[in-house]
Each structure stands twice: as structure tokens, then as C-alpha cells.
Chains A and B, each alone.
Chain A
Amino acid sequence: MDGVIQYTKRRIDAVIGRTPEQTDQGSNAGIHLQLWVLVFLVVFPIAVALIVSTKQQGIVTSLGDLAPGTYALENYREAIVDYNFGRFMWNSLVMSTVVVAGKLVISVCAAMAIVYYRVPYKDLVFLFILFTLLLPVPVRFIPLYQLINDFGWGNSLLAITVPYLASATAVFILRQHFLSIPTSIVETAKLDGVGPIQFMVYVLIPMSKGVLVGVSIIMFVYAWNQYLWPLVIINSEANQVAQVGLQLLQGDVQGGQLSWSLVMAGSMLTLIPPLVLMIIFRKPLLETFTIQQK
């Protein structure tokens, strides 16, 4: 089918006297147009949010309301200082960092065991790990809530980090990567008497740097965006995370004073940490996704 299309294209080109280079330019322009449309679709809501965060009230009713306002500084100051949004951001950062670190340690160990060790019913164990993907956290809320309270962890950092420490996705990605490392390298280490910890620290981790960074970014964004569970389990404002904290920025809803501009300012703030990480580590992140495609 592809061949037919290519052939037809060439025939048309030949008839109207176009060189292949010109055709390429033409299709490139088409691709660029598509990309611009897609980028616009993704960026538009964020751009609106950014604009709204600079306005006094932030109610958008007409196109004219999409001109940037002059209350930017005031709004961000109010969110951070008056509503203590900095505190929420900090809580989120701590939670995300702990979750990422814990996930990394557990996933690396699990993937290493699954790939390199002779464990009875290894494939079954791995399948079971994948099976947990079918049970998202919200499904487990009620028993989890009970358990966390029984442990006396309610309202603490433990409550919002420990339930997220195991990650089937990370184990899966790391397993695929470890499998792509030539077995002869592992066997050389075995023959040389390199111990498992040494192997992990000096061989496996340095050889997986890119994937580990990529996986960390994905996990960080995931943890950073947690909303429902912290909302359920954390009930003191001082321990709350940014995504839930956004809700508190709404202000006096009962009094009809829903301050969208403050909410949008908070939203912009919560975008910053994942964005910075993605910009810094965009290369390993893309590499991780290429590996998944293999």
C-alpha cells in the first residue's frame, strides 16, 4: 500500500515536473503545520492560565479578557505569603523526593533479582508485579486508609509516601533495560568474583544512568501530581501538598469570591518543578521512552 502511494506521488511529481527535493519541502511544511496545531492545543490552556494569573479577578467571559493583567506580582505574593503556598510546595517536594528515592531503590533491587537471579517461579512473580498495575491506588483507598490509621501514620509524611514506594512501571522499565545489557558482561563479573552489591553499584547503575534518570523524572511527576490520596489522609494544613493546596486558594467560595487568578497563580507555581526537571533531563527522558519502544 505504502509502495503504491509512493509510486503515485512520484508519478505526479514527474508529470508536473517537480524534483523529489521540492516534494520533501512540501511535506515538511505539512508536518510543521500539524505540529504547530498540536502544540497550540496543548499550550493554549496553560497560556490562558498564565494570563489569568496576572489579572485581578480572573473571570474570562470574552476574548478581550485574554489580555495580560497587571496584578501578577500581587497574585503570586498573595498565594505564597498569605496562603502559605510555599509550605505546600515544600511538602510536595519532600514527598516526591522520598517517593522517587524509595521507588528507585526498590525497583532496582526488584528488577535485578528478576533479571539476574534464579528465583523459583520468577516469571510468576514478575507477572504478579505487573498485575498490580490493574489495581490503581484509588481502588485500594478504603483498606489502605484503615491500615495507615492502624499504623498511626495518619496525617504524616509516611502516609503519603510509603503506599507509593513499589512501582510496577519502574520495575518493568528497568527489567527491560537490564535485559538489554549483554549477559557476557554479567558473566565476566561472575567469573571475576564481583559481589552482587559491587555489581549493582559499579556496573549496573552506571550502565543504567540514562534509564534511571528518565524513570525518576516520570516517577517524580507522578508523585508531584498526587491529589486524591493526600486529600483523604492528610487533614492538617501544615502537612498538605501543593495539588490539594490549590483548592485552598479558591478563597471564600461561600461568599461568591472565587479568586481564579490566585488558583491560576498557584497552578503556575506547581508547574515549575516538573518543568525544570524535564528541561534539565530531557535527553535521558527521551532515551527511556525509546527503550520502551524496543
Chain B
Amino acid sequence: MTTIKLQNLRKEFDDVVAVNGIDLTVEDGEFLVIVGPSGCGKSTTLRLLAGLEQATDGRIGMNGRDVTDTEPKNRNVAMVFQNYALYPHMTGRRNITFGMKSAGSFTDEDIDRRVEEAAETLDITDLLDRKPQAMSGGERQRIALGRAIVRDPDAFLMDEPLSNLDAKLRIQMRAELTRLHAELQTTTIYVTHDQTEAMTLGERVVVMNDGQIMQVDSPQVLYDFPENRFVAEFIGDPAMNMIDVAVEHGTAVHDAFELPLPSDGGEDGSTETSLGARQSKEQQAAVLGIRPEDFYLAREYPDLGDETFTATVDVTEPLGDSLLIHCSVGDAAFKIQAEPRTSLQTGDEITVTYDPERLHLFDPETGEAVYHSANAPASPERVEQAPRG
């Protein structure tokens, strides 16, 4: 039973601010993923949690206990590293048991029983007598996971544990981690730079940039209702198209096209008000965000809507399951994810339509989201995410 609470946590390295005052609550048994570009402070946050770095300011609480200045070994957390961090001269079994034996708080029978259990869970029984150099990357990471599991820690801290594995193995281990978490129900904090990993593994995902939290939400909410431009562009591959427009009387106006913004969006009031405020003025600059898969070729989806405009194809990239079209209209360039096997040439004119439910507007200066055309979910999920206490 572990809840972790970070309050105004800050870490500076000389003159670099790695973590710039973050507040976060991790619920008991939750699988929380921290994702962000390199240098965003995600690993530092994890290391602060582990006690491997000393916080410059702020507090870390575990189960209501202040552990900000507690020694790493007294925090009862287990960490899994990107490079597995196995002792190369020890067998798999010794790697798993070494820490426990050194800590001295387990009896030998207890250790043996736990190792057997963990080995069975992870299917590594036949690896226990091998040394790391005789194991593959996936096997090594399994041993490292085994070492984390046997101690029955209050929390697992994982620092890009799958980044050293090849693509196929990574997908396999991803599923395995999900299964493992469902089985153990241990609070897990998982750091990655890979947004696919973040989306597939996380019950909630924290998006970080420049040492600050940009948004914390469940993966789908993050995808559908990004709170700011950074999240919108970071989550999703290919990235969301961003087009500079002017908002006039509920319509996004660009030199080459006009997109009416459905006014039923944002019924919870806040976005409505801000958009309303914008509408009242004559004209407001904004950034229109539409995901490539929310654009459609009008000839493939004739009944989607009447709002269409014409664009010119620049480049096409066949992705197998879809066709990515780089196209431009006026001075705006954007990408469309269309049906595969569409024969298009550079320079072709295409008629483009879009899903009016999936439009986003961002403030050009602050980057804050000011409008989502779909209703933000008033789901329990969202209520739950309000930080407690």
C-alpha cells in the first residue's frame, strides 16, 4: 500500500534546473508513466524518488512519511535501469539475492522461496545459474526485474527499462510488464522517452518538459484533450498539425480555407468562456491543431461533411497500413493520414475534409489549449485525477 506525493520538488545541478517545482500524487498500486523529451527532468525526478539525488527544494512523501532526506536503502523502493545494472561476475540467482543477503533482513529459506516465486513469475528459472554475459538483453532485463520483485518493495522505479531491447522484444516485454503489474499491483513509476510505451503502459501519463509537468491524465484523455501545445505535439505519431489561423465569429480563418468551429464544444464552461471572449473581439490569432488522422480525403469519405478545401500534395509516404500525405495549402503545410494504396503524385490537388469533432485551438503565445471541439470528458477518471488533499 503505497502512495507517493511530490510537493514543489526542485532539483538544480549547478546552474541547470533539472526539475522545476513539480507537484504529483501517485496513487497506491498505480502504474504511472513519466514521458518527455531527453533532458526534460524525468529521470532526475525518478532518481529523486529513489534517493539517488538530493532534492534542492520541496518534499517527497511516501505513505504520509516524509522521505525527502531518507537514505536510498531505507526507502524500500526497487529500481530497474536501462542497462540492467547486473553484476557481471555473478550468476542470475546471485544477482537477485545479493542485495537481500547484504541487507540481512531476510532468512535464507525466505530468500530461496522468494527467488523461486519470482523466477516462476518471470519464467527465468533456467537462467538462474547463468552469468549475465550468457544471456540475451531480454533475459538480462528479466533478471533485473526479478531482483526488483523479490524484495517486495513499496514501489518499482523503472528508468527506461526497455530502451536497450530491440523493437520486437520491447513490444513483448511491454505486454509482460503490464501482466506483471496486474499480478503484483505494486505502485510503479516508469520513465520513458517513447510515447508509445507511455500510452500502452500507463494508467496515467505524466508529460514533462523543461523540468515541469505539462499534463497528467490517462492516455486517451491526453491524446484527445491536450492541455497545451507541447502535449498535443509530443503525444501522437505522426505529430498533430499546427496551423496559424485567426478566429472570427466561431470560425477558424486561414488565407486558403475557413473551418467553422462547432460551438457545442467545451460545455464545462471554461473553454467556452475563453473562446467566447475571443469571439467577442474582432479577430484573434490562434493555432489550430488537427491530428493527421482527423483529416480525410473528401473522395474517400463523401458524407463526412460539406466543409472541404483544396490542398496540394508535396510528398507521400506509404506506411503500409496508411498513407501519410505531406501537403500544403497557402503558406500552411500539414500532414494527412489517408487510406493506403491511394495513388497520388506530387503536385496533385486533393480535396480535404476533416472530423469537426476533433479540432483544437491553442493560444499562440502561451501554448495553452483554449478550445476542443469535442466535449471534455466529465468522466470519473477525470475527477479522480484531481490531486487529493
Check B87 for interface membership: any CB of A closer than 8 A.
Answer: yes
Interface readout for B37-77 with A: 1 if CB under 8 Å, 0 if not? 00000000000001110000000000000000000111101
- A:178-231 near B, CB below 8 Å: 182, 184-185, 187-195, 198, 202-203, 206-207, 209
In the bound complex, what is the Cα–Cα distance between A293 and B140 (angstroms)?
30
Closest chain B CB from A152 CB (angstroms): 44
Interface readout for B115-147 with A: 1 if CB under 8 Å, 0 if not? 000000000000000000000000000000001
Contacting pair A193 B99 (CB below 8 A) = yes
In the bound complex, what is the Cα–Cα distance between A101 and B85 (angstroms)?
30
Q: Given A198-B102, A202-B98, is A191 in contact with B87 using a C-beta cutoff of 8 Å? A: no
Instruction: Provide the residues of chain B in CB contact with A191, threshold 8 Å.
Output: 50-52, 72-73, 75, 77-79, 99
Q: Given A184-B81, A187-B79, is A192 in contact with B73 using a C-beta cutoff of 8 Å? A: yes
Contacting pair B89 A188 (CB below 8 A) = no
Instruction: Provide the residues of chain B in CB contact with A182, threshold 8 Å.
Output: 83, 85
Instruction: Provide the residues of chain B in CB contact with A184, threshold 8 Å.
Output: 81-85
Check B100 for interface membership: any CB of A closer than 8 A.
Answer: yes
Check B103 for interface membership: any CB of A closer than 8 A.
Answer: yes
Instruction: Provide the residues of chain B in CB contact with A202, threshold 8 Å.
Output: 98, 102
In the bound complex, what is the Cα–Cα distance between A190 and B102 (angstroms)?
11
> Which residue on chain A has the smallest CB distance to residue B105?
A193
Contact of A192 among B52, B84, B103 (CB under 8 A): B103
Instruction: Provide the residues of chain A in CB contact with B238, threshold 8 Å.
Output: none
Check B88 for interface membership: any CB of A closer than 8 A.
Answer: yes
In the bound complex, what is the Cα–Cα distance between A193 and B103 (angstroms)?
5
Interface readout for B149-161 with A: 1 if CB under 8 Å, 0 if not? 0010000000000
Contacting pair B50 A194 (CB below 8 A) = no
Contact of B85 among A185, A206, A209 (CB under 8 A): A185
In the bound complex, what is the Cα–Cα distance between A206 and B83 (angstroms)?
19
> Which residue on chain B has the smallest CB distance to residue A187?
B52
Contacting pair B79 A193 (CB below 8 A) = no
In the bound complex, what is the Cα–Cα distance between A185 and B51 (angstroms)?
15
Contacting pair A192 B89 (CB below 8 A) = no
Contacting pair A185 B98 (CB below 8 A) = no
In the bound complex, what is the Cα–Cα distance between A207 and B87 (angstroms)?
8
Instruction: Provide the residues of chain B in CB contact with A189, threshold 8 Å.
Output: 99, 102
Interface readout for B179-200 with A: 1 if CB under 8 Å, 0 if not? 0000000000000000000000
Q: Given A187-B52, A187-B79, is A192 in contact with B102 using a C-beta cutoff of 8 Å? A: yes
Contacting pair A187 B85 (CB below 8 A) = yes
Instruction: Provide the residues of chain A in CB contact with B88, threshold 8 Å.
Output: 207
Q: Given A182-B85, A188-B85, is A195 in contact with B102 using a C-beta cutoff of 8 Å? A: yes
Instruction: Provide the residues of chain A in CB contact with B74, threshold 8 Å.
Output: 193
- A:152-194 near B, CB below 8 Å: 182, 184-185, 187-194
Contact of B52 among A185, A190, A203, A206 (CB under 8 A): A190
Closest chain A CB from B159 CB (angstroms): 8
Q: Count chain A CB atoms within 10 A of each CB in B78, B87, B147 and give the residue with the most.
A: B87
Q: Count chain A CB atoms within 10 A of each CB in B72, B78, B147 and give the residue with the most.
A: B72
User: Apart from A182-B83, A187-B81, what are 6 other A-B pairs with CB-CB below 8 Å?
Assistant: A184-B81, A184-B83, A187-B85, A190-B52, A206-B87, A207-B89
A selection of 17 A-B contacts at a CB cut-off of 8 Å is A182-B83, A184-B81, A185-B86, A187-B79, A187-B85, A189-B99, A189-B102, A190-B73, A191-B75, A191-B78, A191-B79, A192-B98, A192-B100, A202-B102, A203-B87, A206-B87, A207-B87
A residues sitting closer than 8 Å to B (CB atoms) are: 182, 184-185, 187-195, 198, 202-203, 206-207, 209
